């Protein structure tokens, strides 16, 4: 049985991470019905075999709900960790000396193995080393090729294999590990729509992943290293989407620096026309509680007011006690913020200047025409999705109905602000374009009889990147009787 669900009235997308609390098909369906627009599969946990059923379950929703499903595979990236300790745990005293070296012998309160030779080559005196998500802080005093001597600025307990962050230097490490390359190949083979690359430091980090993907998925750069901020625009230009990964970013930077950086990353991504996701600890208390704190609600609302394309749940939906409620809360916050009369003005606080191209000029014009004639939607015919991305970049006040003959394009648009993508047959003529626009607007509840829509397409048809037509269409009352014709 198929269940047709009306397009979300909410324009910001909700990205839900799947995990032990939500990996079943039944739970994935509940998350979708509660408001999830896309699903994140975290390659850091579990093996590849366990992901096959999850990906198949997500895809099976397409037939049931008659809507493309969007899957993002998030690669683990190079995880830096210290070695093991005699007894499994030590206490580092503030003000003491602590050494990281290449000796695999279990450590103690004076030293431990650091199995990452790249750090020894790049570290400098005065640089910080952060342990266990920043709970412990070491300051480098001297180093050589096999030994880093530090002074403990903030001490505390430290146990086996705890994580290490190196915020003050650019490490000469590839963004892809052997595990990542294997996971990437697996994800592409499984047909996921987005690949998220962790710990991007520079635009060159994206090149290997791009080559391995070979156009079979879109590439998303996670901004979680201070080094990435220094070359932010270059990185954004080299990827298809961006994630503000506030977890590691908040470890490696003082927490008060994260909010302005979040706004900057969102602004740059929007200006360059890349979907941007705000992630990490958005409704953290809902891992254990059925309701969020007021501060968390305000945090989510701020990202929506800033014009983020998507907001993401991590452990809340993956491993928490209230996964469905977390998604429903995200959905409710999005709807409430977008009903605010001031929402439109705040979203447009960031000025989007169109590039001097026909496509950008058309997208800007479509937004203006829709506003002037009180159209209820903008309908885009697209093959690659570029027309939809340009229109979404303008943040129009009306929904964007995207009609595409490419299932892959429809799926990738699940992270794009304000879009409702439909996989449908292509059109051959102007008359067919108009008829299909009307039919799909009615079928998907985008428009009613007597209302107007703005239609965008390219002539000649079936030519990617040729958008050059804007047409205003009024839905006539007598068209209601045959709106159910084949798509």
Distance (Å, rounded) from C-alpha 59 to C-alpha 114?
Answer: 42
Distance (Å, rounded) from C-alpha 313 to C-alpha 284?
Answer: 9
Q: Is 29 helix (H, G, I), strand (E, B) or coil?
A: helix
Q: Kindly state the average pLDDT of the residues 236-251.
A: 94
User: Are residues 401 and 304 part of one domain?
Assistant: no
Report if residue 278 sits inside a domain.
yes
Given 222, 231, 270, 395, which residue is catalytic? Answer: 222
Q: Kindly state the average pLDDT of the residues 301-310.
A: 97
User: Is the omega angle on the peptide bond into residue 447 within 30 degrees of 0, that is, cis?
Assistant: no
Rounded alpha-carbon distances, angstroms, from residue 363 to 118, 422, 427, 437, 467: 46, 19, 20, 17, 9
User: Are residues 155 and 100 part of one domain?
Assistant: yes
Predicted confidence band at 6 (pLDDT cuts at 50, 70, 90)?
low
Report if residue 369 sits inside a domain.
yes
Q: What is the pLDDT of residue 477?
A: 64
Distance (Å, rounded) from C-alpha 282 to C-alpha 464?
Answer: 37
User: Are residues 449 and 469 part of one domain?
Assistant: yes
Given 280, 383, 387, 404, which residue is catalytic? Answer: 280
Residues 139-160: tens digit of each pLDDT: 999 999 999 999 999 999 999 9
Q: Decide which of 341, 373, 398 is a domain's last residue.
A: 341
User: Are residues 145 and 73 part of one domain?
Assistant: no
Secondary structure letter of residue 255 according to DSSP:
G
User: Are residues 324 and 261 part of one domain?
Assistant: yes
User: Are residues 225 and 336 part of one domain?
Assistant: yes
Residues 333-374: tens digit of each pLDDT: 999 999 999 998 898 877 777 778 888 889 999 999 999 999
Distance (Å, rounded) from C-alpha 309 to C-alpha 450?
Answer: 31
Our answer to whether residue 438 is catalytic in this structure is no
Predicted confidence band at 4 (pLDDT cuts at 50, 70, 90)?
low
Average predicted confidence (pLDDT) for the chain: 92
| Cα dihedral across residues 276, 280, 281, 284: positive or negative | positive
Report if residue 84 sits inside a domain.
no
Q: Kindly state the average pLDDT of the residues 216-223.
A: 97
| Nearest residue to 196 (alpha-carbon basis) of 396, 17, 420 | 17
User: Are residues 238 and 292 part of one domain?
Assistant: yes
* DSSP per residue, 284-326: GGGGT-SS--HHHHHHHHHHHHTT-SEEEESHHHHTSS-HHHH
Given 59, 66, 81, 135, which residue is catalytic? Answer: 81
Given 8, 11, 40, 225, which residue is catalytic? Answer: 40
What's 127's domain CATH number? 2.40.33.10
Predicted confidence band at 465 (pLDDT cuts at 50, 70, 90)?
low
Report if residue 346 sits inside a domain.
no
Residue ranges of alpha helices (H) inside 173-241 are 178-189, 205-213, 226-230, 232-238
Report if residue 7 sits inside a domain.
no
User: Are residues 48 and 186 part of one domain?
Assistant: yes
**pLDDT of 273 strictly over 70:** yes
- Cβ–Cβ under 8 Å, residues 357 and 381: no
Q: What is the pLDDT of residue 485?
A: 39
Q: Kindly state the average pLDDT of the residues 49-55.
A: 96
Tokens representing 199 are: 């710990």
Place of tokens 């239609």: 455
Q: What is the pLDDT of residue 487?
A: 45
* DSSP per residue, 332-369: HHHHHHHHSTTHHHHHTTS--PPPSSHHHHHHHHHHHH
**pLDDT of 482 strictly over 60:** no
Q: Kindly state the average pLDDT of the residues 230-241.
A: 96
Residues 402-435: tens digit of each pLDDT: 999 999 999 999 999 999 999 999 888 888 989 9
Report if residue 44 sits inside a domain.
yes
Residues 379-399: tens digit of each pLDDT: 999 999 999 999 999 999 999
Tokens representing 461 are: 């048809």
Tokens representing 32 are: 């979708």
pTM: 0.91
User: Are residues 216 and 295 part of one domain?
Assistant: yes
Our answer to whether residue 81 is catalytic in this structure is yes
- Cβ–Cβ under 8 Å, residues 218 and 193: yes
Q: Decide which of 138, 165, 192 is a domain's last residue.
A: 165
User: Are residues 383 and 334 part of one domain?
Assistant: no
Total number of domains in the chain: 3
**pLDDT of 41 strictly over 80:** yes
User: Are residues 321 and 443 part of one domain?
Assistant: no
Our answer to whether residue 70 is catalytic in this structure is no
**Domain limits for position 422:** 358-482
Our answer to whether residue 105 is catalytic in this structure is no
Report if residue 327 sits inside a domain.
yes
Q: Decide which of 165, 196, 215 is a domain's last residue.
A: 165
Report if residue 63 sits inside a domain.
yes
Q: What is the pLDDT of residue 349?
A: 78
Q: What is the pLDDT of residue 306?
A: 95
User: Are residues 406 and 321 part of one domain?
Assistant: no
Comparing 84 with 358, the larger pLDDT belongs to 84
Predicted confidence band at 316 (pLDDT cuts at 50, 70, 90)?
very high
Q: Kindly state the average pLDDT of the residues 180-199.
A: 97
What's 414's domain CATH number? 3.40.1380.20
Q: Kindly state the average pLDDT of the residues 38-66.
A: 94
Q: What is the pLDDT of residue 171?
A: 85
């Amino acid at each position: 049985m198929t269940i047709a669900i009306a397009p979300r009235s909410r324009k910001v997308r909700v990205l839900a991470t799947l995990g032990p609390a939500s990996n079943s098909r039944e739970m994935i369906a509940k998350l979708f019905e509660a408001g999830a627009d896309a699903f994140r599969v975290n390659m850091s946990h579990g093996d590849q075999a366990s992901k096959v059923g999850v990906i198949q379950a997500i895809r099976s929703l397409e037939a049931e709900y008659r809507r493309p499903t969007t899957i993002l595979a998030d690669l683990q990236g190079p995880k830096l960790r210290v070695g093991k300790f005699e007894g499994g745990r030590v206490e580092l005293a503030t003000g003491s000396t602590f050494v990281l070296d290449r000796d695999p012998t279990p450590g103690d309160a004076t030293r431990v193995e650091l199995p990452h030779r790249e750090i020894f080559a790049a570290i400098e005196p005065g640089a910080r080393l952060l342990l266990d998500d920043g709970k412990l802080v070491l300051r480098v005093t001297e180093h050589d090729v096999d030994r880093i001597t530090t002074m403990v600025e903030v001490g505390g307990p430290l146990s086996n294999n705890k994580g290490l962050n190196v915020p003050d230097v650019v490490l000469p490490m590839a963004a892809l590990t052997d595990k990542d390359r294997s996971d990437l190949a697996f994800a592409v083979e499984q047909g996921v729509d987005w690949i998220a690359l962790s710990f991007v430091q520079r635009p060159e980090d994206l090149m290997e992943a791009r080559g391995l993907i070979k156009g079979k998925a879109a590439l998303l750069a996670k901004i979680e290293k201070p080094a990435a901020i220094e070359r932010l625009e270059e990185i954004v230009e080299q990827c298809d989407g961006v994630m503000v990964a506030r977890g590691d970013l908040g470890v490696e930077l003082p927490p008060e620096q994260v909010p302005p950086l979040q706004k900057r990353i969102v602004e740059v991504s929007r200006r360059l026309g890349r979907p941007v996701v705000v992630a990490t600890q958005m409704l953290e208390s809902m891992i254990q509680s059925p309701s969020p704190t007021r501060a968390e609600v305000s945090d989510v609302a701020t990202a929506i007011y800033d014009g983020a394309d998507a907001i993401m749940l991590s452990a809340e939906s993956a491993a928490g006690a209230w996964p469905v409620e977390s998604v429903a809360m995200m959905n409710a916050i999005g709807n409430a913020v977008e009903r605010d009369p001031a929402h439109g003005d705040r979203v447009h606080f960031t000025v989007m200047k169109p590039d001097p191209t026909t496509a950008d000029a058309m997208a800007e014009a479509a937004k203006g025409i829709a506003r002037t004639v009180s159209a209820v939607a903008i309908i885009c015919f697209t093959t690659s999705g570029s027309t939809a991305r340009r229109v979404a970049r303008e943040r129009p006040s009306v929904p964007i109905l995207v009609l595409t003959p490419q299932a892959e394009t429809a799926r990738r648009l699940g992270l794009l602000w304000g879009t409702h993508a439909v996989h449908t047959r292509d059109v051959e003529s102007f008359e067919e374009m108009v008829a299909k626009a009307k039919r799909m607007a009615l079928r998907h509840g985008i428009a009613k009889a007597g209302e107007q829509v703005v239609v965008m397409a390219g002539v000649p048809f079936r030519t990617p990147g040729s958008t050059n037509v804007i047409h205003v269409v009024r839905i006539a009352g007598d068209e209601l009787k045959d709106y159910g014709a084949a798509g």
